[in-house]
Structure 1
Amino acid sequence: MMMWNKGMLDGFEVWTGRTVAMEMVVVPELGSRVISLRNRRTGREWLAQPTCALETNRYASSFENRDGSGWDEMFPTINPCRYPAYPWEGTELPDHGEVWSIP
């Protein structure tokens, strides 16, 4: 069973979920970015940690401007492109999709 606690980091609400074996920290306002995934038994951190304070990313901003830490949702695409099929055919999709940069 995972237990969740709310906290704050760099002005953002963060949620920490813990089981006996694992702990994960999620920032809902940053596209539910996972900023930590840690084995509680060994202490091993599985994700690259932020190199600076957390910052808000605007919709369709470039992922290249981020520090690359954590785990971001990349839906429905990774690279910027145009949606290929009906009913959204031709719609521009941003770098790393639409989800990672919005709350």
Structure 2
Amino acid sequence: MERQRAQFGPWEVECLPDDGARVSVLRFEGLDLLTSRPEAFVPRPDRGRFETREAYGYDDCFPTVDACRYPVDPPFDIPDHGELLWLPWQVRAESDRLVCSVAGELLPVTFTRTMVFSPCRIEWR
């Protein structure tokens, strides 16, 4: 799986474009700020689709957290935790930011997450 890594001063970030642009690593001055990938993971077959994914890092949930029917005519299903974490994203590092974007397949939207890094904070846009 492709891993996009970037360093912004004291910040280190790793993103997985093909895994919904999951932020898999976020470190400040070497300190891990996110839950790391589990060493062993056995998904339970009686759980929903989201529960078959390893739970670690950071994901964006859009347009919903729970699986649901989207209220249009005709209605359609939105998966558990939305559709974005199931899609491959475009990821690019710029001078002070990491920009991740994806076009929805179920809804006509383009979602962009921009993480702007400064010496002592991150701004999520």
Matches within 5 A, 1:26-45: 26-39=15-28, 41=29, 43-45=30-32
Q: TM-score, length-normalised on structure 1?
A: 0.70
Measure how far apart 1:67 and its partner are: 2.4
Q: Tell me if the contact between 1:17 and 1:25 (Cα under 8 Å) persists in the aligned partners.
A: yes
Count of residues in correspondence between the two structures: 82
Alpha-carbon distance in structure 2 between the residues aligned to 1:46 and 1:23: 10
Structure 1 residue ranges (4+ consecutive) displaced by more than 6 angstroms after TM superposition: none
- TM-score where L is the length of structure 2: 0.58
**Which structure 2 residue ranges, 5 or more long, are not aligned?**
41-47, 89-125
Amino acid at match of 2:19: L
* 1:94 matches 2:85: no
Task: Give unpaired runs (5+ residues) of structure 1.
Answer: 1-11, 54-60
SS at match of 1:35: strand
Assess if the C-alpha contact under 8 Å between 1:82 and 1:89 holds in 2: no
- Distance in 2, Cα, partners of 1:66 & 1:92: 19
Q: State the shift of 1:52 in Å.
A: 3.6
1:82–1:92 Cα contact (<8 Å) kept? yes
Q: Name the aligned partner's letter for residue 70 of structure 2.
A: Y
Letter in 1 for 2:55: G
By percentage of residues, which structure has more strand? 2
Q: Map 1:1-103 onto structure 2 (within 5 A).
A: 12-39=1-28, 41=29, 43-52=30-39, 62-84=49-71, 86=72, 90-103=75-88
Pairwise CA RMSD: 2.1
